[in-house]
Structure 1
């Protein structure tokens, strides 16, 4: 990357988190072009500097532009920042791969596990594009999009096997309100982000049923234990799960009313069906899509994940709401560690 020009990032696509990261990158001095599927969104970003689909009242920096043409978005990009539903990643990448430059670092914002293959997003990226793992980074942490659009303080982890690539993206998104830390533990960062969505569903269910704050704290703590067990079994460093992409993200997602997964769980706790909760959510809820795949990963690695199992069973209507609540709160006693 030349020292004489700003870094250039292509953000795919124009959802809430993609828009927030586009703003962060621009505020850090990076040139940003957003790929939007709908021309109305791209036109609005270019003419009004707002994303009417998600943040109609918040102005984006003038350095953020948009296009519906993936080739135009990716031309000369130092970073391809991917913020699309995890289950849509494979199909989208297959179409965009021919336009990705050989030196472009692919940055995943996805917090899910692909159904069927049980692959993490970074693995899907390497498989579909053929790029090496050291060209794939992950950004993960306690990052609620709405707060970041308002410029409220936050931090995150940039993980990549190539420390220099992680540092370059760290520099590209470091602002006075957004502090990125670097790591080489991609597995830990990705699993922390994916599992916390499922735990947030459990917390939402408990909240919707009025089980109280003690139950919430229990589920967060035991949920962290589940995530750490799976991550360690898959080769991650347990300390990663004690960091921003683990416990940090878990606390934010489980405690904030801005969290989609917690809100979805609350709908279930109020007695709504999965279909009704999906209709009420109106946005992708990654935990709903990933729970079964995460459970399959746990089975393959011989890891017990009782909270994830109950959530998956409830989503697939294998248990009633009351049975799920009992299973979440009445585990047989055993040593904590």
Structure 2
């Protein structure tokens, strides 16, 4: 199976390199000409993965038509808020029965749509096989061949098997799950909780508080998922609890770092302007908060993170309000 990877950030680069090392025919699309030139001259992506030599088998292009020509699987690794326009750009380039695998974790802000819904709409009625790759997976560790396990949400049994085998290596293990909605919601909501965990840790509230945020964050994930038709068991797996633990505790988490910097008193716009990579949780918080109001789902952590990000609320006050909410059964 020939693969086009759309997006040259840390995750797109990592997955493209993984496939190229396996001998898969893979081309990665890079929007920036300067980045493309560096790929070709240095054999690395110093913008996002400095110091890592990439497989010489990895092909590069900044021409979408050239990237997509002759490919059967299209791995989407652009930030979630740009997913719709990029899918629109490649729609006419995809062959019949093409497979689209989304590796981005987020909810579209303007619509509250998940990435599978965005894909379906962006394809304009054209039917394609679809899957979503999620789970606890820092790109920095995957590209250095550290053991990692992820989840592939896919309803198509044949595609699940193909993609599972395509990506599997002795350090990268792929589990399949028919619950696409659950897998993609877990990957999106965990970023919100990671921002909260970063705030809590930076304020010195300790590991008890972090454990509470992870556990109650999992409850929020489950409530939203139940309202949107996901299987509750999915959130106890890699794309739910697994990714939640990773991003709430690991310093490689961009979203956790956003929370830590907010707790230091830094302004959101200043934080984002200094980050080369996208912290998906920033926009996803706003999208999920709006979605919770629309669906009438109680998401108190999301509500407080949204207030800190977009209403100028003091982070310490947000934590205090979470702790002093009306008492209830678990």
TM surpasses 0.5: yes
1:40 pairs with one of 22, 26, 34? 34
Structure 1 residue 134: deviation in Å? Answer: 6.0
Correspondence 1:64 to 2:58: yes
CA distance in 2: counterparts of 1:254 and 1:193, whole angstroms: 13
CA distance in 2: counterparts of 1:124 and 1:269, whole angstroms: 33
State the number of aligned residues.
330
CA distance in 2: counterparts of 1:283 and 1:38, whole angstroms: 14
- 2:274 counterpart SS class: helix
1:315 pairs with one of 284, 297, 309? 309
2:71 pairs with one of 77, 96, 99? 77
Aligned residue runs from structure 1 range 187-336, under 5 A: 187-317=181-311, 319-336=313-330
Query: Unmatched 5+ residue regions in structure 2?
Result: none
CA distance in 2: counterparts of 1:170 and 1:42, whole angstroms: 29
Structure 1 residue 328: deviation in Å? Answer: 3.0
Note closer, same or farther for the CA distance 1:68–1:127 as it changes in structure 2 (3 Å cut).
Answer: same
CA distance in 1: counterparts of 2:312 and 2:324, whole angstroms: 18
CA distance in 2: counterparts of 1:82 and 1:98, whole angstroms: 16
| CA RMSD between the two structures | 1.5
Pick which of 102-111 and 132-141 moved more: 132-141
Correspondence 1:89 to 2:73: no
CA distance in 2: counterparts of 1:141 and 1:247, whole angstroms: 9
- 1:34 counterpart SS class: strand
For the Cα contact (< 8 Å) 2:48–2:277, is it kept in 1? no
For the Cα contact (< 8 Å) 1:215–1:329, is it kept in 2? no
2:147 pairs with one of 153, 158, 164? 153
Query: Unmatched 5+ residue regions in structure 1?
Result: 1-6
Structure 1 residue 318: deviation in Å? Answer: 5.1
- 1:76 counterpart SS class: coil
For the Cα contact (< 8 Å) 1:134–1:160, is it kept in 2? no
How high is the TM-score relative to the length of structure 2? 0.96
Structure 1 residue 305: deviation in Å? Answer: 0.4
Counterpart in 2 of 1:27?
Answer: 21
**Segments ≥4 residues shifted beyond 4 Å:** 131-134
1:162 pairs with one of 134, 156, 160? 156
